[in-house]
Structure 1
Amino acid sequence: MKRLPLLLSLCAGLLLTGCAHSRDDGPLPPKTVDSVDLKRYQGKWFELARLPMFFQRNCAQSEAHYNLKPDGTVGVLNRCITLEGEWEEASGTATPQVQGKTDKLWVEFDNWFSRLLPGVTKGDYWVLYVDKDYQTALVGNPDRKYLWILSRTPTIPALERESLLARARQQGYDTTRLIWRVSDRDIAQKR
């Protein structure tokens, strides 16, 4: 696995995200869900689409694995497969930004950079939407640079997809720039 490039890229992206704040005269931040049942949220999620970001530039298919820990934090394992068929991964921890609230989390990946500068590499993980059955979700950050459309399955019906896109647009995200999950067939053809 090529872990170092992914980890360096994740650190750089999270560093920039962690430093970003909404200006007083700027737009209101996106609205998050009232709360997230982290027990139901844990498990495997497929990334259906994302806004472009440096640390995922080589990813053709991505997935996130969340594991609720006894202390209330969430273990995070992000994995992606490149068009060349190689897996890249990064692990970390998500913690509530406000004690007792689960809609806005800090995510910090475990690597040499975060150990060198603890707390500086935290990235915003705001849950903007999760359906009642915890099968689809929208996750973003307050400055709208990052957006992920997540699902428990690698594909969803077109109507559901359009509904998620509409929700993202209502929150002020530019869905015309989304990068969509590459099909298994397309990855196999690239090898």
Structure 2
Amino acid sequence: MKSSVVILLTVLLFGCTSAPKGITPVEDFQLSRYLGTWYEIARQNHSFEKGLSQVSATYTLQEDGGVAVLNRGYSEEEQAWKEADGRAYFVESANIGHLKVSFFGPFYGAYVIFELDKQDYQYAMVSGPNRKFFWLLSRTPQMPKEVIDELLAKAAALGFPVDELIIVDQSKKTSM
């Protein structure tokens, strides 16, 4: 019984950091180029982002080599900015775009960068531990439609339910 509890706790604490089957994290990843602010272009609908527009994520290097994460978005319903602070660490090595991220104490989830503009780091596609978690990120609040369409076609080919995605409204200019 005791070993079953240990196994269950191990799965709960560490089991959600794996990449989904068939999703390969980018290699030759350079964290220094990835740091900074990214804007959500598209995402799957989840309660923790429900109703948010103007969503961004800002990544900064921590002293321990990890990454501080600040997610923020505007809630039209509450007429207020919502923020979530987290931290992320590499799962394998620093040159593979596979991190584990936590916003809730010791509980980590997968952050798998599986598509990345290697030339300029201008866009990225990110998965969680399964295909129910997907984000299309950009360095700018808007992306050309043809680039979005091309990237979402790649995501669809990998089994992500792109027909269920929310296109994030980045057009408003709400003061921070």
Rounded Cα–Cα distance in structure 2 between residues aligned with 1:69 and 1:38: 12
Unaligned runs of 5+ in 2: 1-11
**Aligned counterpart, 1:125:** 111
Rounded Cα–Cα distance in structure 2 between residues aligned with 1:107 and 1:129: 18
Deviation for aligned residue 1:69: 2.8
SS at match of 2:156: helix
What code does the residue aligned with 1:51 have? Q
SS at match of 1:122: strand
Match of 1:108 among 96, 102, 117: 102
**Aligned counterpart, 1:60:** 53
Report which of the two has the higher share of helix.
Answer: 1
**Aligned counterpart, 1:78:** 71
TM-score (norm 1): 0.75
Rounded Cα–Cα distance in structure 2 between residues aligned with 1:69 and 1:19: 24
Bigger mean CA deviation after superposition, 44-53 or 29-38: 29-38
Report which of the two has the higher share of strand.
Answer: 2
Deviation for aligned residue 1:19: 4.8
TM-score (norm 2): 0.81
Unaligned runs of 5+ in 1: 1-15
Q: How far does the alpha carbon of each residue in 1:3-30 deviate from its partner, in whole angstroms, 9 at most, with x for none?
A: xxxxxxxxxxxxx8965588xxxx8331
Bigger mean CA deviation after superposition, 45-54 or 164-173: 164-173
Deviation for aligned residue 1:143: 1.5
Runs of 4+ off more than 6 Å: none
Deviation for aligned residue 1:99: 3.9
Deviation for aligned residue 1:98: 1.5
1:36 counterpart = 2:29? yes
| Structure 2 counterparts to residues 3-42 of structure 1, below 5 A | 19-20=15-16, 28-42=21-35
Q: How far does the alpha carbon of each residue in 1:125-169 deviate from its partner, in whole angstroms, 9 at most, with x for none?
A: 000111021000000024211000000111111111111111211
How well do the aligned residues superpose, as a CA RMSD in angstroms?
Answer: 2.5
